[in-house]
Chain A
């Protein structure tokens, strides 16, 4: 049995999905597009039900990828039941999607969510009345508290067991104005006469053709004569209204019908447009004068928490456990077993040093992700986009780009995926291309290491300057790209500002755990194998013999080949060149490979080795290069997936690396002139 979940963004769809499926989830992509596909399974009375979480959408227009995917899935895959989740606190806009979904002829249940908030406002919703008017079951729930959710699943399962209805009869359930009803019926009858279309949801196609939906027209592949007959219906329909535009007319008809329905089914307590608690909070948070200071304060707080005393303390704890206790224990074990010297090198230097060095940053990455999740779940992210739109508009983007860019401070991979929420393709591409400049969490070890050695007096400032340089580079590149690759009109910005909600600890934990898991898997697989590989490459020569001096190793010779390229940037030594290469696997490995390459078992040994190889100017130049050069493989792959093209992904990699080279060159050469 297959049940699909759909609904507006912020309707609590994900909460319900998580509630039902727990950890039995599978996340992937819908075939051929970059829209997330989430599936999970739930056991109900011994039966296994597959739950499909469809993307959050507002309408079934042909303009956004999410909406097209939803149409396709519902028409082609035909789940047994569709549960449409509505936010009871703004039921009109949520019903607008419901009316369109009903036309698809999939057996459907409406779940009106957030009933606790509806009651709290003093509003009363008569679900039985709504159900009577729509001809579909309407079940009130509060997903967050698990209220009535069992009943919802029960009703869905019961509906699925009923024999399937004929989707082609999916017309005339909702009462519109006379002209609209007549026009839909006229188109429906024209389609009904075509034998090849039997079995398709003709009510849906009739409405879409009336709207002038090109995708629907292409899907049906109508002949010229039929198309002409439909156009005549449309012309008569358009002539019947002063608006004279089919798309607006149909949307208007739907909303009018909804308003009439809601008037009968809902009793509202407060005056229209009255201020809720959320509105009052918003008056302060997006206040004309206070908004920017609050925004900066939140950003500052987030970074202070992550990189300040709390984060450093936790990192220090992990470093102590792994770097001191574990190392000592393993060393003791190896020497008492009289193990050969290379085992110490492999286990302690490569594995504990490499993997451990990266695990040290786990607490900070988790804190950062917790902060970002709180901002997202509380509704502040949308406000941040609202506040920043004006600035981003100047570089040809919208406030929506702000969300992926902010997430870029955590990790480029999910940040690039967050760009999906942007409908405009050009905006999405441009955002993806500049997001890697936002310094990701994995680059922090590099800054922390170098700053602690070369900028002891101004460690914080040196690290912070990386974030600033990253942001400035993103803005300048944005302007550059807008003038070259992405000329043309600026995308509109129409975005819902969801009410402020207290993030649920459960959802937060799940979110952060997902990230932690991802990071640990990365540490256990990619970083583990890269650490071992790095160690092998720098301890073996081309004939695969162990070398005594790692200047004879494979890595050294590759590094020496590459080093001249980096000489103008101030770090023409082979160890630096090799670490940069290793950083392509994951940015954390820049540090772990340096630990291995300089043969340093501890932080102090590495510090003295680096102090000999770099000076402050070249160290800063190296930090800048690490900040800006092409993102790691995992991010690169997700860029390819999101852009749906190798060419764009390679272009992004080449662009970022070129920018990194140029800026590091300027930093080093300029720095040498100034500081001699």
Chain B
């Protein structure tokens, strides 16, 4: 049995290859608006692709495209605690 739960409570805690489902977006103003405009909305599935060579920023995949954002902003994006319904930790 593969334990599918990623254990990540926010986007900044995902490991490369893991997928989570967004619950809410923190922060405010222009940065928050930018994040939701780019499709980081509740219910969206997000996969962490990788971190940049120097440890920051992150590259994520959502809605069929790649987005890069810093870990400190990724931490403000909370994920569902329960398992995402599909394969998540197999890669």
- In this complex, what residue of B is CB-closest to A212? B33
Residue among B47, B54, B86 with most chain A CB within 10 A: B54
* Chain A 143-199 residues near chain B, CB threshold 8 A: none
Interface pair B68/A493, CB less than 8 Å apart: yes
Task: Report if B57 contacts A (CB, 8 A).
Answer: yes
* Complex Cα gap A91–B69 (Å): 21
* Complex Cα gap A288–B25 (Å): 28
Q: Given the complex, which residues of A lie within 8 Å of B10, measured CB to CB?
A: none
- In this complex, what residue of B is CB-closest to A294? B53
> What are the interface flags for A37-77 relative to B under an 8 Å C-beta threshold, 1 for contact and 0 otherwise?
00000000000000000000011010100000000000000
The smallest C-beta distance from B29 to any residue of chain A, in angstroms, reads 8
> What are the interface flags for A88-131 relative to B under an 8 Å C-beta threshold, 1 for contact and 0 otherwise?
01111100100000000000000000000000000000000000
Interface pair A390/B54, CB less than 8 Å apart: yes
In-complex Cβ contact of A497 among B24, B47, B59, B86 (8 A) = B59
The smallest C-beta distance from A662 to any residue of chain B, in angstroms, reads 31
A-B contact count (CB 8 A): 136
> What are the interface flags for B1-43 relative to A under an 8 Å C-beta threshold, 1 for contact and 0 otherwise?
0000000000000000001000011000011111111110111
- In this complex, what residue of A is CB-closest to B37? A59
Interface pair B69/A494, CB less than 8 Å apart: yes
* Complex Cα gap A61–B34 (Å): 8
In-complex Cβ contact of B61 among A248, A273, A493 (8 A) = A273
Task: Report if B89 contacts A (CB, 8 A).
Answer: no
Q: Size band of the B side of the interface?
A: 35 or more
Task: Report if B82 contacts A (CB, 8 A).
Answer: no
- In this complex, what residue of B is CB-closest to A60? B37
Interface pair B32/A389, CB less than 8 Å apart: no
Interface pair A399/B57, CB less than 8 Å apart: yes
Q: Given the complex, which residues of B lie within 8 Å of A59, measured CB to CB?
A: 33, 37
In-complex Cβ contact of B65 among A93, A282, A387 (8 A) = A93
- In this complex, what residue of B is CB-closest to A252? B41
Interface pair A391/B65, CB less than 8 Å apart: no
Interface of B is mostly: mixed
Interface pair B33/A61, CB less than 8 Å apart: yes
Q: Given the complex, which residues of A lie within 8 Å of B67, measured CB to CB?
A: 494-497
Known contacts A248-B32, A292-B53; A243 and B24 CB within 8 A of each other: yes
Q: Given the complex, which residues of A lie within 8 Å of B56, measured CB to CB?
A: 389-390, 393
Task: Report if A286 contacts B (CB, 8 A).
Answer: yes
Task: Report if A291 contacts B (CB, 8 A).
Answer: yes
Q: Size band of the A side of the interface?
A: 35 or more
Interface pair B38/A247, CB less than 8 Å apart: no
Q: Given the complex, which residues of A lie within 8 Å of B34, measured CB to CB?
A: 61, 63, 423, 492, 494
> What are the interface flags for A612-640 relative to B under an 8 Å C-beta threshold, 1 for contact and 0 otherwise?
00000000000000000000000000000
Task: Report if A272 contacts B (CB, 8 A).
Answer: yes
> What are the interface flags for B42-72 relative to A under an 8 Å C-beta threshold, 1 for contact and 0 otherwise?
1111010111111111010101111111100
The smallest C-beta distance from A246 to any residue of chain B, in angstroms, reads 11
Interface pair A255/B41, CB less than 8 Å apart: yes
* Complex Cα gap A92–B42 (Å): 15
The smallest C-beta distance from B16 to any residue of chain A, in angstroms, reads 9
> What are the interface flags for B77-88 relative to A under an 8 Å C-beta threshold, 1 for contact and 0 otherwise?
000000000100
Q: Given the complex, which residues of A lie within 8 Å of B37, measured CB to CB?
A: 58-59, 61, 96, 251
Interface pair B53/A387, CB less than 8 Å apart: yes
A-contacting residues of B (Cβ < 8 Å)?
A: 19, 24-25, 30-39, 41-45, 47, 49-57, 59, 61, 63-70, 73, 86
7 intermolecular pairs with C-beta atoms under 8 Å apart: A63-B34, A255-B41, A256-B41, A288-B53, A390-B55, A496-B67, A498-B65
B-contacting residues of A (Cβ < 8 Å)?
A: 58-59, 61, 63, 89-93, 96, 243, 247-248, 251-252, 255-256, 272-273, 279, 282-283, 286-289, 291-292, 382, 386-387, 389-391, 393, 399, 423, 492-499
Q: 10 new A-B pairs (CB below 8 Å) besides A247-B36, A279-B49, A496-B65?
A: A58-B37, A61-B33, A286-B50, A387-B52, A390-B54, A393-B56, A492-B30, A493-B68, A494-B31, A494-B67
